[in-house]
């Protein structure tokens, strides 16, 4: 299953609903383009909803890191929402879990922005 | 699965997906549990990415050789490229604080995290990586015994 992304606005926050695989190639490129496009349009409060992401490889992990740092460098904030066990475990073993702001509840994620 | 099977593949992104799919099917057929199948398939995917991108650099005249061997104790997977050979001393630790926010460099770390043994043999004519997963009594062998 390839990756699908859709965006929606909730109280000034952009939620990016992701599903499928974030892997080298199309999935990673879509993620990169979407976040860059949002930032270019001034949307700097971003939540990546990964609840339906069933697979991610090291390229996908790199893309999450890139999205996080790119957003931060432009004065924005990016949070991760609804990690599946696979993604959660990968972020744990790569020591990235504590780097990202990870949320389990969308309302709390939206309210958590400064 | 046969005792051993080997594939010669092009240096393309499709090869990465095919290698992952073959690993998933073979590990499942052997009887590994769901988590172990995911670990094996991801290790093979990362290894194939290294072979296609960093080893062969997408060169159309260079191939990736992927082989699976089932021994009584192990699943042994070997991936060989025809690149210049990986520089083992140049692989940074992705868990070091200064590397945590780098966007690449986690492939070999993930292979080592998910497999029981990872052997890397670089040479001037390519790199060969051997990935070994033990067939444990609590997983594959246990599953077979309970059926």
Residues in Cβ contact with A25 at an 8 Å cutoff, skipping those fewer than 6 apart: A59, B13, B16
CA–CA separation, B137 and B141 (whole Å) = 5
φ/ψ of residue A61, rounded to 5: -60, -45
Looking at residue A28, its pLDDT comes to 87
Cβ distance of B49 and A59 shorter than 8 Å: yes
Q: Which helix (H) or strand (E) is B41 found in, with range?
A: helix B34-49
Q: How many CB atoms lie within 10 A of CB B57?
A: 12
CA–CA separation, B13 and A25 (whole Å) = 8
Cβ distance of A24 and B103 shorter than 8 Å: no
Q: Which two tokens stand for residue B2?
A: 């046969």
- String of b and e for A65-94 (b: at least 16 CB within 10 Å)? bbbbebbeeeebbbbbbbbeebbebbbeeb
* Ramachandran area for residue A25 (φ above 0: left; ψ -120 to 50: alpha; else beta): left
Q: Which two tokens stand for residue B89?
A: 């001393």
Size of interface A-B (CB pairs under 8 A): 45
Enter the ipTM: 0.89
Enumerate the domain spans of chain A.
4-107
Interchain CB contact of B102 with A (< 8 Å):
yes
CA–CA separation, B131 and B7 (whole Å) = 16
CA–CA separation, B62 and B55 (whole Å) = 9
Residues in Cβ contact with B140 at an 8 Å cutoff, skipping those fewer than 6 apart: B30, B31, B32, B33, B36
| B126 bridge partner residues | B123
Interchain CB contact of B113 with A (< 8 Å):
yes
CA–CA separation, A109 and A12 (whole Å) = 12
**Domain, as residue range, for B72:** 4-146
Nearest CA in chain B to A96: B100
Looking at residue B137, its pLDDT comes to 59
| Domain with residues A4-107, CATH architecture | 2-Layer Sandwich (3.30)
Residues of chain A neighbouring B95 (CB-CB closer than 8 A): 94-95
Looking at residue B7, its pLDDT comes to 97
Q: What is the pLDDT of residues A55-75, one digit of tens each?
A: 999 999 999 999 999 999 999
Q: Which two tokens stand for residue A84?
A: 């599946």
Cβ distance of A62 and B106 shorter than 8 Å: yes
The domain total for chain B is 1
CATH code of residue B78? 3.30.565.10
Kindly tell me the sign of the dihedral angle through the C-alpha atoms of B87, B120, B64, B99: negative
Q: What is the pLDDT of residues A74-108, one digit of tens each?
A: 999 999 999 999 999 999 999 999 999 999 999 99
With contact defined as beta carbons under 8 Å apart, do B39 and B131 qualify? Answer: no
CA-closest candidate to residue A109, choices A49, A34, A52: A49
pLDDT band at A1 (very low <50, low <70, confident <90, very high): low
* Chain A interface test: which of B21, B106, B109, B111 (most A C-beta within 10 Å): B106
Cβ distance of B95 and A95 shorter than 8 Å: yes
Q: Along the 147 residues of chain B, how does pLDDT read in single tens digits? A: 668 999 999 999 999 999 999 999 999 999 999 999 999 999 999 999 999 999 999 999 999 999 999 999 999 999 999 999 988 888 899 999 999 999 999 999 999 999 999 999 999 999 999 999 999 754 444 444 333
Largest CA distance in chain B: 49
């Amino acid at each position: 299953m390839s990756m699908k992304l859709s965006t929606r606005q909730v109280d000034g926050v952009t939620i990016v609903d992701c599903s499928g695989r974030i892997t080298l190639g199309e999935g990673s490129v879509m993620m990169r383009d979407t976040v860059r496009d949002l930032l270019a349009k001034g949307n700097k409060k971003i939540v990546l909803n990964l609840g339906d992401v069933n697979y991610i490889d090291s390229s996908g992990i790199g893309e999450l890191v890139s999205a996080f740092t790119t957003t931060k460098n432009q004065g924005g904030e990016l949070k991760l929402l609804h990690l599946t066990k696979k993604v959660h475990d990968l972020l744990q073993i790569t020591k990235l879990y504590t780097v990202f702001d990870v949320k389990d509840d969308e309302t709390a994620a939206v309210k958590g922005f400064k | 699965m046969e005792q051993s099977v080997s594939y010669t593949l092009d240096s393309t992104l499709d090869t990465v997906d095919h290698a992952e799919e073959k690993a998933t099917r073979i590990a499942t057929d052997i009887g590994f549990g769901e988590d172990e199948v995911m670990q094996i398939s991801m290790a093979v995917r990362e290894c194939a990415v290294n072979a296609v991108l960093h080893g062969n650099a997408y060169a159309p005249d260079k191939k990736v050789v992927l082989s699976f061997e089932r021994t009584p104790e192990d699943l042994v997977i070997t991936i060989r490229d025809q690149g210049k050979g990986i520089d083992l001393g140049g692989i940074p630790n992705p868990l070091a604080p200064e590397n945590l926010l780098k966007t690449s460099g986690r492939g070999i770390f993930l292979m080592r995290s998910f497999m029981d043994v990872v052997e890397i043999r670089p040479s001037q004519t390519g790199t060969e990586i051997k990935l070994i997963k033990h067939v444990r009594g609590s997983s594959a062998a246990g599953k077979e015994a309970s059926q």
